[in-house]
Each structure stands twice: as structure tokens, then as C-alpha cells.
Amino acid sequence: MISNNQLAFSQSPPHDPDVVWLSISLFCYQAYWHILLEEGIAPFVKNMGYLQAYEIKLNHLGSHNVELGLLTECTNANLLAQAANEHFNIFFENIGFPYEVIKLPVKGVFQPFAMNSVKYGLFTREQRYSALSIGISRFMLEALKDEVNDDNAIISFAFYLHIGLIKTVNQRGITLTEIMQPAEIGQLNSISDNYRNKFEENNELLTEIIMDIVNGNEELPPWLMEWMSLCDEELALKHKNASVIFFGEVVRLIYQKMDIEDAVRLMLEEFILIILD
């Protein structure tokens, strides 16, 4: 059992006074995130009756972890929290992910959270959820479940979503120059040599992804087709000027949910402009 003071609920906006978000952080090494997504999170969110919606975000702050936001009616909040606590603690106990014992004193000011642990209230869910944010979370369970979630896999997934969004916007008659601008001088200086090297190594693959999606060279995965359909539904409700703003907001949402730093996003945008110009 967990007591109420261990739980962390964030009240939804005023227009939804009867529902709350439960904030759960699931700590395990990034190398095992694909297993956590497929065998831990997916069964829970698909079978939990109290759940109205869920959101997933990758995170590296305070040790590697996956943030899971669960939306439920206030009357079911404690039941959902108890069910989540039991499910994920049993999952970590049974799965047997390796971990290192935290040795004191630790480097830095804050002690990192233990791996294979469940924590509450480390993030807040303040904004009303959107179909696109929910969609990205669902597509993560599909696209990231089959391979180790190293940086390349995570960036590639975000890149697929990014290019799919560009194609959808272009099909609405909005050009690339209207929605994307070259990075300003100095914005790319913070990119580490590690990321620059990975970018050089995957230059050909990124080009292939762009051309496959934009030109329809190959059959696209179902989750990407669904993503493009969701984006198109949102764009259909907006005027052209609002669509340009919408594009920037969704691009930032994609990379934020993947916990990819802005400098890397800007580097990828520069590459997209070069290829598609």
C-alpha cells in the first residue's frame, strides 16, 4: 500500500474540474526503456479501466527515467494510483534489470534516484492534453518497443515524426520556407562532438528517411500514417497563419517528449532545409 502523501496529483485546468493527472517516474537505464515500454507501460495503459488518457515522456534528469502521466476522474484517483504502484513495483521486481548501487558521497549536489524504482510527483502536468501529445505517446509504444532505445533510435523516431509533419503541412499548401528558418549564428555551438559525429555517421540514413516520406518511395509504418492523419485533422481547423505557429509548437513538442536538446533539433532542421531546398 502507498499512503496519500506519497501520491502526486495535479489538478486539471478549470474546464475539467473532475479529473486529475497522476505523475509517475519510472527509473531504469535507457538501454532497457524498450522493455519498460513494451512489457511494463503498454499492458498497464491498455488494460486499466480507470484511465481516460496517458502521456509518456523520456527523461534523463535525476537518472534515466520514463515519465508517465495518467489522467483519471478524481473519484478513481487513489484506485488508479494503487494499481499503478503495485503493477510497476512488481514489474521491476520480476524483470531483473541490472543496476548499480548508489555509493555515497555522490558527485554533484543531488543524489540520483535509484534504478528500477517508482517515484511520484517529480513532474507536473499543467496543460490540457492534446490529441497530438497523446498520439506521440501511443506511437512511442509502437515504434520504440523492438530495439534498444539508444540516442540514435530516439532521434530517428523524432525525425520520422518531424518529416511526417512537414509533409502534412506541405500538402496543405504551406511551403517549407514559410514554416522553417535557418538557425541563427551561435545556436548550434552547444552541440557536443558526440552528437556531431553521430550526425555525420547517419547523414545518409537521415537523407533516406526524408526522401522516403516526402516522395512516398516506400510503404510507411502504420503509426506514422496515423500521426500524419492526426496532424492533418488539426491543420484543417486552422487558418494559414495559425498553421505556421502550430507547426513550430508541434515540432518543439516532439523533441521535448523525446528529451532531445534544442541544439540537436536545430541541427536536424538545418539538414532538412539543405535536403529539401
**Domains of the chain by start residue, with CATH:** 4-120 (3.30.70.100), 131-276 (no CATH)
Cα(184)–Cα(89) distance, rounded to whole angstroms? 46
For residue 61, name the pLDDT band (cuts at 50, 70, 90).
Answer: confident
What are 247-273's pLDDT values in tens digits?
A: 999 999 999 999 998 888 988 998 898
So what's the pLDDT on residue 241? 83
For residue 191, name the pLDDT band (cuts at 50, 70, 90).
Answer: low
What are 215-242's pLDDT values in tens digits?
A: 886 789 999 999 999 999 999 988 888 8
- Mean pLDDT of all residues in 28-55: 95
Percent of the chain scoring above 90 in pLDDT: 56
- Mean pLDDT of all residues in 124-136: 78
Assess contact for 27 and 63: CB atoms under 8 A: yes
Cα(26)–Cα(115) distance, rounded to whole angstroms? 8
Q: Rounded to 5, what percent of the chain is helix, strand, coil?
A: 55, 10, 35
pTM (2 d.p.):
0.87
- Mean pLDDT of all residues in 65-73: 95
